Amino acid sequence: MKNLEYEIAKLNANLATLPLEIKEIFGRSIQDLQSGDLTEKSLQIGDKFLDFSLVNSKREEIELGKLLNKGKVIVAFFRGSWCPYCNLELRALQQNLTHFTAVEATLLAISPQVPKFSEALLKDNNLDFELLFDEDNTLAISVGISFELQDYAISSYDRLGINLSAYNGNDSNRLPVPAVFVIDPDYTISYRFMDVNYMNRLNIEELIAQL
């Protein structure tokens, strides 16, 4: 299996052909987030994760508490099916799903996109774990990993055919920072990966080692 880091490097090479103006705007957007305090203010290792109940792609309620009765829960926040980096991460998690289930850990992926897009994402990528709908980024805001996309960046997203209002069902242009948490049965966070640079993703081997 080719690792996630290798796939991201290939993607970066492909995206190098984007117009310079768009690349500069995306870089500025990341730098602005890096100068903020999301990383420090979000939930940390040792904190208690928030209980939640969210609908999956079929609009069935999935409750964190019930899953924690069975073992640890891995929660992966992603931006949406329009994000190629998120797609690579979700596929890598799928490729390692047996490592999670072997230790009775449940994987959940959460995004603000409406369920119909997640349903298509599941089918297109043959994902065998739940994709949950965080309406209006409510959970991501509570966890401290949500931000409003800068006004100057929105037009670049539009130029690439990414209509966040259509994907998320609102006009807030709010997104989660990609982040992965391992939640123990008592709701304690035992592993956390978060990077405001969406091009950087977790080391899945490190995640497996924490289970």
Return the structure tokens found at 177: 């920072």
Q: Which domains, from first to last, does the chain contain?
A: 4-209 (3.40.30.10)
Q: Which of 43, 67, 192 is nearest to 130 (CA)?
A: 67
Q: What is the pLDDT of residue 46?
A: 99
What span, in angstroms and rounded, lies between the C-alpha atoms of 130 and 42?
23
Q: Which of 187, 198, 182 is nearest to 149 (CA)?
A: 198
Mean of pLDDT over the chain: 97
Q: What is the pLDDT of residue 36?
A: 94
Cβ-in-10-Å burial (0-12, 13-18, 19+) of 31 comes to exposed
Q: What is the pLDDT of residue 1?
A: 42
Return the structure tokens found at 56: 């999956």
Give the amino acid at 47: D
> Per-10-residue mean pLDDT for the chain, 211 residues long?
86 96 97 96 98 97 98 99 98 98 98 98 97 99 98 96 97 97 99 98 96 96
Within 8 A by CB and 6+ apart from 133, the residues are 54, 55, 56, 57, 59, 110, 111, 112, 113, 114, 115, 118
Q: What is the pLDDT of residue 2?
A: 59
